[in-house]
Amino acid sequence: MRLGVISAARAMNALGLNRGTAGNVSARWRDGFLVTPTGMAYDETLPDDIVFVRRDGSWRGARRPSSEWRFHRDIYEAREEAGAILHAHSSFATALACLRSGIPPFHYMIARFGGGSIRCADYATFGTQELSRNVVDALEGRRACLLANHGMLVFGRGLRHALDLAVELETLCEQYWRARQIGEPVLLADAEIGRVLERFADYGQQETSGADSDQGSPGRAERRWRPRPGADGVPSTGAGGTSPSGQSAEGRDEPRTPRNS
């Protein structure tokens, strides 16, 4: 699992989703999650550098966890279907996030993220509990969001799924960007997004299991994706998600460790 986290982080950079040490990757593990360390080049990161963070925020490892460990913890807490989380400062998603507006249903693949839009989480300083709260709110009924003046985030069933979704989101952001250069995109109606969600579900029923194994090279992940029901978590209606988000960060004790970087 530690190698999987490192592979996904390296793939994130190789696919052009991220540069340098920005961004972070985690996978649910035992009663917490494994996450990339703060400020380390992924090429130099070894399995022992991956940090195990428990639900109470305490952590175990030779390195300090990503400064954004709070939103990783709170997403796993709020969304039981989340098996892996990927956060990146990819260029097109981040550029749109700097406008502080979400992405409307300009393309039917928006529905892959659970509904008819991708929201932009309100701005808060990186690494803070406030940012985590804003992110969990923006993810309600969705598996991705933008982070105002910051970047993007997706979660999936596993590392490969999360990487697939990250590639898809960045692609959609680029397409939306380009469409906006030449005009005002015509948006799809809610009813059409509902039909797309149903078709995704029907389509997926023909697929055999195992297509989303987290083994192998996630670098080729974007070519393998097929929508699946249930497993992909695409709801069969246009309605929101299954988890009460927005409440998870409230009233939770602030752990003393780890600190922000």
- Residue 138 or 234: the one with the smaller Cβ distance to Zn ion is 138
- Distances 147 to 65, 80, 222 between C-alpha atoms, Å: 20, 21, 23
List % helix, strand, coil for the chain (3-state, nearest 5): 35, 15, 50
Distance of closest approach, residue 258 Cβ to Zn ion, in angstroms? 16
Distance of closest approach, residue 196 Cβ to Zn ion, in angstroms? 30
Q: Which residues lie below 8 Å from residue 52, measured CB to CB, with a gap of 6+?
A: 29, 30, 32, 33, 34, 59, 60, 61
Distance of closest approach, residue 55 Cβ to Zn ion, in angstroms? 22
Q: Does 68 qualify as catalytic in the annotation? A: yes
- Residue 151 or 235: the one with the smaller Cβ distance to Zn ion is 151
- Residue 27 or 85: the one with the smaller Cβ distance to Zn ion is 85
- Residue 83 or 151: the one with the smaller Cβ distance to Zn ion is 151
The residue ranges that bind Zn ion (CB under 5 A) are 151
Q: Which residues lie below 8 Å from residue 164, measured CB to CB, with a gap of 6+?
A: 156, 221, 222, 224, 225
CA atoms of 129 and 132, how far apart (whole Å): 5
Distance of closest approach, residue 126 Cβ to Zn ion, in angstroms? 6
- Residue 24 or 193: the one with the smaller Cβ distance to Zn ion is 24
User: Which of 44, 68, 80, 174 is flagged as catalytic?
Assistant: 68
Q: CA angle, 137 as apex, 132 and 139 as ends, to 5°?
A: 95
CA atoms of 95 and 93, how far apart (whole Å): 6
CA atoms of 185 and 179, how far apart (whole Å): 6
- Mapped onto helix, strand or coil, the DSSP state of residue 1 is coil
CA atoms of 166 and 91, how far apart (whole Å): 12
Question: Which residues are identified as catalytic?
Answer: 68
